[in-house]
Amino acid sequence: MATALKAGDVFPQGVTFKYIPYAEDQGEITACGIPIDYDASKEFAARKVVLVSVPGAFTPTCQKTHLAGYLARQEELKSKGVDHVIVIAYNDPFVMSAWGKANGVKDNFVVDILDMDERWLEISRNLTRTNISMPNQQLFMSDTGTAFSQSIGWTAGERTGRYAMLICNGKVLYAEKEEKKEVTVSGVDAVIAKL
């Protein structure tokens, strides 16, 4: 049986999302990059991350209300120490990449992450050891097959549910799922109130 995450829980091991890192030469919305794995369990262990789940990319509430709030308040999230805002949905990584591009996700807050080669891993380890903060980033990822959302029981039928989590150094500080078709407990206001 799926167990929902709550404040105080350790973020589970083995959570992986798929995404396509933004690259300038692939900046057109119709450009197709190559999906790679993002080891959320590992990456969340040493960062302050907001994980936002939406039922679908390019859908009215997800676009106009849910995502728009996080995009509009990027600077405030940065100022409160958020390293990454990660937006997941049941959509495949190609759709999620296009959604990010359609929303202009490519600046210093909203950049690509992790080529996962040895050079980057060494830089990452050095930054962690010397306590230098990583640039803030907003990433659009696929919860492929809704595997993670199913594991915590937070789906909307066959889609990912609408929820938000705040994770700091691998510990869940906030986790709430919307019970109605609105954006309240998963919106940026609710998350910022917990920072």
pLDDT digits (tens, 9 = 90+) for 38-69: 999 999 999 999 999 999 999 999 999 999 99
Q: Answer yes or no: is 69 within a domain.
A: yes
pLDDT (average), residues 6-19:
95
Q: Answer yes or no: is 11 within a domain.
A: no
Which residue range forms the structural domain that includes residue 161? 16-24+32-193
**Percent of the chain whose predicted confidence (pLDDT) is above 90:** 65
pTM to 2 decimal places: 0.84
Three-state secondary structure call for residue 180: coil
Q: Answer yes or no: is 2 within a domain.
A: no
Q: Answer yes or no: is 3 within a domain.
A: no
**Measured distance CA(119)–CA(129) in Å, rounded:** 15
User: Could you say which of 20, 52, 62, 183 is catalytic?
Assistant: 62
Give residues with Cβ within 8 angstroms of 37, minimum separation 6: 16, 17, 18, 116
Three-state secondary structure call for residue 69: helix
Q: Answer yes or no: is 101 within a domain.
A: yes
Per-residue pLDDT band for 1 (boundaries 50, 70, 90) equals: low
Q: Answer yes or no: is 126 within a domain.
A: yes
**Measured distance CA(82)–CA(65) in Å, rounded:** 20
- What is the tally of structural domains in the chain? 1
Composition of the chain by helix, strand, coil, percent to 5: 35, 25, 45
Q: What is the pLDDT of residue 109?
A: 41
Q: Is 62 a catalytic residue?
A: yes
Per-residue pLDDT band for 131 (boundaries 50, 70, 90) equals: very low
pLDDT digits (tens, 9 = 90+) for 76-91: 998 999 998 999 999 9
Q: Answer yes or no: is 122 within a domain.
A: yes
Q: What is the pLDDT of residue 106?
A: 75
Q: Answer yes or no: is 147 within a domain.
A: yes
**Measured distance CA(43)–CA(72) in Å, rounded:** 25
pLDDT digits (tens, 9 = 90+) for 134-170: 444 678 999 999 999 999 999 998 999 999 999 999 9
Domain holding 39: CATH number?
A: 3.40.30.10
